Every structure is written in structure tokens, then in C-alpha cells.
Amino acid sequence: MELNNLTNTPGARHRRKRVGRGCGSGMGKTSTRGHKGQAARKGHKQKLGFEGGQMPLVRRIPKRGFNNAAFNAKALGVNLADLEKKFESGAEVTVETLAKAGFSDNKRPKVKILGTGELTKKLTVKGVPCSASAKAKIEAAGGTVA
């Protein structure tokens, strides 16, 4: 393949529609604007969804249902390797202590402890959800999960 061999794939490029070039072109006279009315005039701009003053379709249709986006916040994962670095042996790990250690923020206040990494310190985890592997590793290191 060389630069002089490159071509566009069929249908990738379209010829510009040349309107107002005589009746023989099929796009003369009104230049594809139809007859009369606001849309046929120069400088015609209407906002999206405008229906000439009639109540727009978007507003005529009733809004129904429930949006779960606000309640469907994903938890921020904290690995055991991170707990090993930030906490001393015998420390209590709660949502508040994790926030003070810089693991959670206002955007994602939910936290979950995950089992990636090794844990040698004895930690007491209270009120923080843990994965099954994280719980097993914390208990194997002599800690407790409540």
C-alpha cells in the first residue's frame, strides 16, 4: 500500500447537493425548500423540536417511570495492599477512617474492601463491606470482620 494507491471506501464521501441551478437539475426554483412559509425564507432558524407553536411531542407525552441512577452508585474498591500501607496493626477500619486515609471522596462515598494483595497486620473491620477473599485474608492475618 502506498499513498498514491489510497482510495475511499464506497459510500464514504458524498457529492455536495448543488441547489438553485435551473429546473433541469431537479433542484431549481425553490431549491429544495418547499413552497412559502418560514422554512422557505432566508435566515430560517428554529430551535430543535419546535412545532410552530403547537405543544411539542416531547411535552405531550407523559413522563413515567423511575430513574435509579441516583441510588445505583458504585462502591469504590480498596485493596488489602492499600490497607497494609495506610493502617497500623490493631487499627480499626471503618468508613470514617478510610475517608480520613484518603480512600473515599464526596463523589463516591461507598467503599468496599477487595482481596487484592497480602495482609500481615491484624485489623478490625467494622461497617465496611468486604469481598469473600478479603474477609478470608483479614481473618487469616488474625483480624476480624464485623
Q: How many CB atoms neighbour CB 80 within 10 A?
A: 23
74-145 belongs to CATH 3.100.10.10: yes
Chain centroid to CA 104: how far?
Answer: 19
Q: Looking at residue 14, what is its pLDDT?
A: 92
Q: Looking at residue 45, what is its pLDDT?
A: 83
- Collapse the DSSP code of 40 into the 3-class scheme (helix H, G, I; strand E, B; otherwise coil) and give the result: helix
The b-or-e profile of 14-29 (16+ CB within 10 A means b, else e) is eeeeeeeeeeeeeeee
Q: Cell numbers for 128, please give them.
A: 465496611
pLDDT block averages, 10 residues each, the chain of length 146: 92 93 94 91 88 93 86 88 94 92 80 94 94 96 94
Tell whether pTM > 0.75.
Answer: no
Q: Looking at residue 127, what is its pLDDT?
A: 92
Residues 100 and 94: their CA atoms lie apart, in Å, by 10
Q: Cell numbers for 64, please give them.
A: 413515567
> Reduced to 3 DSSP states, what percent helix, strand and coil does the chain have, rounded to the nearest 5?
25, 10, 65
Q: Looking at residue 110, what is its pLDDT?
A: 86
Q: How many CB atoms neighbour CB 52 within 10 A?
A: 8
Q: Looking at residue 123, what is its pLDDT?
A: 95
Q: Looking at residue 67, what is its pLDDT?
A: 83
Q: Looking at residue 58, what is its pLDDT?
A: 92
Q: Looking at residue 105, what is its pLDDT?
A: 76
